[in-house]
């Protein structure tokens, strides 16, 4: 299948779903009512009109910006903390052993239950969402960096020592690149979780952001608003994911290209 056909088929799926949705919610069947009530399912045209309105009036940009800021901050803070602690634990097995049960416990906790606490501590503004995102991002980065430092090939380590590297040079030329490569390999997951943290946080209590937008629509039975919010959110996440892929390609040039991305 060439690219053109594939794209055509992909668009066809969207077209069929939209047409079906449209027909089911607008064409009256016996009794004068459509098969699917538009009150609960809205209609594609309403949703498209709503999205158009958001963008033409410009109200959406503020919400997008807020969510993006929260996710970015959560990602940066969570990653830095994850790298530092991951490094520290990997190089100090005793510290790691002492903290091990607590790390496992905190990671086992569904992070969503922390949201109310963070709201109490940090208020309804962006800080409570950032905190939620950080708890999600931190563990992913932490585990990957920890693994990355622990699993440096013993031969490469021995080689580095024989080449005359000091402890500090080992850190810079061996452990650090290895840990970073592991962190970058989890970049998609951690960026995704940063967005999840932001949106879920907004959803549970906020004054702005995409999660807030969806919650507002939902609480007024504005189903078109809910679908429009969901659609904007998916496109937002896809755009971020594409950016991450671009960054990843640049940073991991030294890695062999996996078979599936090879043409």
Of 92, 159, 234, 245, the one binding another protein by CB under 8 A = 159
- Burial pattern 43-58, b for ≥16 Cβ within 10 A else e, equals bbebbeebbeebeeee
Residue 149: CB minimum distance to another protein, A: 14
Helix H or strand E encompassing 193: helix 187-204
Contact 134, 197 (CB under 8 A): yes
**Is residue 150 within the footprint of another protein (CB under 8 A)?**
no
**Is residue 156 within the footprint of another protein (CB under 8 A)?**
yes
- Nearest alpha-carbon partner for 86 in 167, 156, 140: 140
Contact 143, 190 (CB under 8 A): no
Residues whose CB is less than 8 angstroms from the CB of residue 196 and which lie 6 or more positions away in sequence, other chains included:
133, 136
- Burial pattern 134-158, b for ≥16 Cβ within 10 A else e, equals bbbbbbbbbbbbbbbbbebeeeeee
**Is residue 178 within the footprint of another protein (CB under 8 A)?**
yes
Residue 248: CB minimum distance to another protein, A: 14
User: What's the length of the chain?
Assistant: 263
How many Å apart are CA 106 and CA 240, to the nearest integer? Answer: 28
**Pick 91 or 161: Cβ nearer another protein:** 161
Of 59, 153, 220, 245, the one binding another protein by CB under 8 A = 153
Residue 174: CB minimum distance to another protein, A: 7
DSSP characters over 11-39: HHHHHHHHHHHHHHHHSB-TTSSBSS-HH
Residue 214: CB minimum distance to another protein, A: 42
Residues whose CB is less than 8 angstroms from the CB of residue 31 and which lie 6 or more positions away in sequence, other chains included:
none
Of 91, 150, 173, 188, the one binding another protein by CB under 8 A = 173
**Pick 32 or 154: Cβ nearer another protein:** 154
62-70, 115-123, 133-141, 175-183 -> range binding another protein (CB under 8 A): 175-183
**Is residue 151 within the footprint of another protein (CB under 8 A)?**
no
Of 177, 207, 246, 249, the one binding another protein by CB under 8 A = 177
**Is residue 158 within the footprint of another protein (CB under 8 A)?**
yes
Residue 160: CB minimum distance to another protein, A: 8
Give contact residues for another protein (rule: CB under 8 A): 153, 155-156, 158-166, 169, 173-174, 177-178, 181, 253-256
């Amino acid at each position: 299948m060439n690219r053109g056909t594939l794209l055509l088929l992909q668009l066809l799926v969207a077209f069929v779903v939209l047409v079906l949705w449209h027909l089911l919610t607008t064409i009256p069947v016996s009794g004068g009512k459509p098969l699917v009530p538009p009150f609960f399912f809205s209609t594609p045209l309403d949703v498209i009109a709503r999205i158009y309105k958001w963008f033409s009036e410009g109200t959406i940009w503020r919400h997008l910006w807020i969510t993006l800021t929260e996710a970015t901050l959560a990602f940066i803070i969570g990653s830095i903390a994850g790298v530092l602690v991951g490094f520290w634990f990997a190089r100090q097995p005793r510290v790691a052993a002492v903290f091990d049960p607590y790390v496992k416990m905190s990671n086992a906790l569904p992070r969503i239950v922390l949201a109310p606490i963070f709201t109490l501590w940090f208020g309804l503004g962006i800080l409570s969402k950032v905190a939620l995102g950080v708890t999600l991002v931190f563990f992913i980065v932490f585990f990957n960096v920890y693994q990355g430092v622990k699993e440096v090939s013993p031969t490469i380590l021995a080689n580095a020592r024989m080449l005359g590297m000091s402890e500090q040079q080992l850190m810079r030329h061996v452990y650090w690149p290895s840990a970073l490569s592991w962190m970058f390999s989890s970049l998609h997951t951690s960026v995704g979780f940063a967005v999840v943290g932001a949106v879920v946080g907004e959803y549970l209590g906020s004054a702005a952001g995409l999660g807030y937008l969806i919650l507002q629509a939902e609480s007024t039975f504005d189903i078109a608003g809910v679908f429009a919010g969901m659609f904007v959110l998916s496109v937002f996440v896809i755009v971020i994911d594409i950016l991450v892929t671009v960054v990843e390609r640049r940073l991991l040039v030294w890695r062999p290209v996996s078979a599936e991305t090879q043409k």
